[in-house]
Structure 1
């Protein structure tokens, strides 16, 4: 890499990858090389020629202004993730958060059944524990969806399908998968509660709760 190319790379380091910037960078490098070689042919040594070329480059801030690119993005950290990269990283966290929220509901049922064996059916402690788990689950799901809503513009830009039927079909497929998982967990909780705690009768409540959670998932995906 020669002096001119190294200089251009350093000057444009951290600049946004806009088309106008890339084109300007290429044109400027070509012009500076041409001028540099002409000065060398006139008898200037490399250091003199390079100094003259750089001195004629002009003010960097003026060049930025002339390109017409949003000034707010000039000084972004070049290593900072793009909104799309942030969303892709968030998708995994979002899925885990929803799964954690759903698990809190079922842990609430398990705690109710388990604590009843210690405190008795007349105690309020099992119900309080169940409600605490469920409130925590609701809070996790709400916070996850608030964070998810911040990426609405990114998700909109990623959508390729424009046919409402195709979009609805894709969302239903996702909803069916999540609901299948929820009901599998509900069935597991039901059998474990019945076989380990002999709580077949109160454990049936996991199924209507699972149905409610499926309704919540379906509502979220329709947004």
Structure 2
């Protein structure tokens, strides 16, 4: 049912909030729920019932016109559909996300394992070999991270500031729901390994066996635990991104023109100007204050305050969205 409510929310995303449209949305929600339960009682699976309900109720245009709120419908902001993300591009994006998740988590795991291998060779009195293996595994890990990040960034750039249709949101919601079980299992395994990784270190101190070997086992377990946590989290975020956004945003700190316009409405121009001058101005104030008063020890606090103020200002702009 959550998928149907999310779909209905996306249909009314650009519709002015009035008593009439709120009542129309409530009526539609009740009708869609009744139809969903009717299909379930006929033996349909959950996904089949949800798909049938969404496809049978049509677009927001038909819904609003049928409920005689077409005048209000004309006033809503129409999204730019000229280069909306296609089904094929969405699945290619998720494929790229999985590739990025695998290589990123492997790279991080290798970097941690490099230290573990070094500790292991110290434990067997082979410090020289450990010093040789440390940069080798570290370099391989960094290579995995950089190569995957470049491919991921390139694909995100292709999708940047493009419209995410309700159909894509529905498919993304299905993919996200299907992945939830795998996400929970991976997270539990990863966190469990990180917690139990302390056992080898504690045992080495209690039973007085070689401490470097205990540290090596600790780091190996952490490496595997971090692999699972990063891997499932990145994949889940890839599905969630196409569920939660209306325009694809490559860089959260610098959303595209259409994404900014959608979020801030008529205030979009002021938001762009704000992003352009705000942080350079903060840096200048930091340097001027630090030099003038010799306050280097605590002047960095301005960046924390600036981050809080930035969130406040942007929230105010979004509140003024028509």
Greater C-alpha radius of gyration: 1
TM-score of the superposed pair, with normalisation by structure 2: 0.28
